[in-house]
Amino acid sequence: MFNLPNKITLARIALIPVFMIIMLVPFQWGSVHIGDESIPVAHLTGAVLFIIASTTDWVDGYYARKLNLVTNFGKFLDPLADKLLVSAALITLVQFDLAPAWMVIIIISREFAVTGLRLVLAGTGEVVAANVLGKIKTWAQIIAVAALLLHNLPFELVSFPFGDIALWVAVLFTVISGWDYFAKNWDALKTSN
């Protein structure tokens, strides 16, 4: 159960409180100036930690496939770790007025709904692993969150709203992938009663 990929996934979950402390505890770290723009050191540090934690999603999947260590526990834990990390970061972005609350609510609501679907189906013995749309959704969210944590730098230097566009793309894939999960598993969900 606690093989290498699952340990990497657990490490991703363990980084979430560290990320939250860096972002939310009012340390007096100052700001970094890039051109005419500045970014709080806490946000820059949090963004780097978020990116490092996010890359473990690829690392644990790589080792699970390479070492033939794909488990039902891993299929459940990996997407849960992604959801926890992204949700924590999105809520933090709302706190700092870097993301609109309504978009974050859509994303988090979808995550709860799909997790609920997985739990109901797990009760019938069926494990719903992440599919291609789910993986695209996750990476779209990670890119959007990282861009917004970085205050849209370096794109802000040329007045290109990359972070905002990336968040719209993330919301779009969030809705599409959520619809896809329910559409593909609707019959199993109906018979799970």
How do the domains of the chain map onto residue ranges? 4-190
Q: What are phi and psi of 96, to 5 degrees?
A: -95, 15
| DSSP three-state, residue 2 | coil
Both tokens of residue 94?
Answer: 């709302």
pTM of the model: 0.89
| DSSP three-state, residue 154 | coil
Name the percent of the chain lying above pLDDT 90: 58
Both tokens of residue 62?
Answer: 């790589």
Neighbours of 96 (CB within 10 A): 15
Is residue 193 very low, low, confident or very high in pLDDT (cuts 50, 70, 90)? low
Q: Per residue in 125-135, pLDDT tens? A: 777 767 899 88
Ranges 1-15, 64-78, 118-132, 164-178: which has the least confidence: 118-132
pLDDT at 28: 84
Q: Per residue in 75-98, pLDDT tens? A: 778 888 989 999 999 999 999 999
pLDDT at 52: 95
As assigned by CATH, the class of the 4-190 domain is mainly alpha
**Length of the chain in residues, anyone?**
193
Q: Do residues 130 and 138 lie in contact, with contact meaning Cβ atoms separated by under 8 Å?
A: yes
